[in-house]
Amino acid sequence: MPPRRTFALLSAVLGALVLPAQGAPVPAPASPPGPASSTASTGSTGSTASAASAGPAASRPGPVVVAHRGASGYAPENTLAAADAAAALGAPWVEADVQRTRDGVLVLMHDTTLERTTDAEVRHPDRAPWEVSGFSSAELAGLDAGGWFGERFAGEPVPTLTAFLRRLARHGQRLLLEIKAPERYPGIEAEIVTVLREEGWLTGAALRRGLVVQSFSADSVRTVHELHPGIRTGFLGRPEPAELPVYAAFCDQINPRHTTLTAEYVAAVQALAGPHGSGLEVLTWTVNDAAAAVRAASLGVDGIITDHPDVVRRALTPGPGRRSRRRRRAGWPGRRPGPAVGGRP
């Protein structure tokens, strides 16, 4: 997207949305690299590696807000426009879904088919069921990924992962990247790691604080961990408490649907140390109203994934005269491990 169009979109989003009553959006953090509901196979969990107990956190901030597929309540999901909208709202983290085209290019798309969020059905009526893997990158580049959401987004392209990473870097945003349906794309984990490395996301602060790769497939998450142990990873789902030590061997986060959570489960996850020595974190999805956000925060989650980051942030912001027990900050909250566990790398 040309810079002029980006500026216009940011201005439009800021002008159109109702921002938190407490004031202006939280500024985006310094750039790490250089500046929903869905189901899939969990895969096998492999050996029963154990993890040391992290112990209670000495001091925990409130949950960080993650813009789901970008600020997808206000712009077409998994597009550069959605990343721009998230930046305009001050969302420090953006969640996005990655798949692979027929010719091996990594692109952003949630569904494994194209008809819901592009005009593929109109442009290619003979190509049903319009699977992402059945189209070349050039064909995807010719689709409209924004018109379905609203007229002013008409012509928004399906972004490549490379283009999306560069847009986030420009805004100083961090990335929660979901590998979508990895069973359809053998070897996609290595390709993702390659692109992340090429774009500078696997060095320094970017690796430690600016990136998490997650999936509903435990096998895929473990593969990412084995390919590059420095990458922080998350499992989408709710393993049984007895299985959590297995996941803690290769996951830094356990990220269940918000309707499945209890305070006891969150505590059980956070009591374990992940592969990087710090306590496991819990992110929950997809929370789009104030009451659900307050409930999730009361359970002690570390992050809330939402289509409406402004709504969630406003719900978690204390009103006038109320003393907050939360520490708001733009970066990932993290958790302080117990004395037996080392800090983050």
Q: How far apart are CA 220 and CA 231, in angstroms?
A: 13
Residue 171 known to be catalytic: no
Report which secondary-structure segment, H or E, holds 296.
helix 290-298
Pairing outcome for strands 281-284 and 253-255: parallel
Structure tokens at 309: 């980051």
- 265: Cβ–Cβ under 8 A, 6 or more apart, which residues? 238, 241, 256
The single residue of 68, 171, 258, 276 carrying the catalytic annotation is: 68
* 11 contacts: CB under 8 Å, gap ≥ 6: none
Active-site residue flag, 110: yes
Cα dihedral sign, 190-191-196-198:
positive
Cis omega (within 30 of 0) for bond into 129: yes
110, 124, 225, 276: the catalytic one is: 110
DSSP letter for each residue of 123-183: H-TTSTT-BGGGS-HHHHHTS-SSTTT-GGGTT----BHHHHHHHHHHHT-EEEEEE-SGG
Lookup: tokens for 14: 């800021």
- Residue 245 burial (CB < 10 Å; 0-12/13-18/19+)? middle
Residues that are catalytic:
68, 110
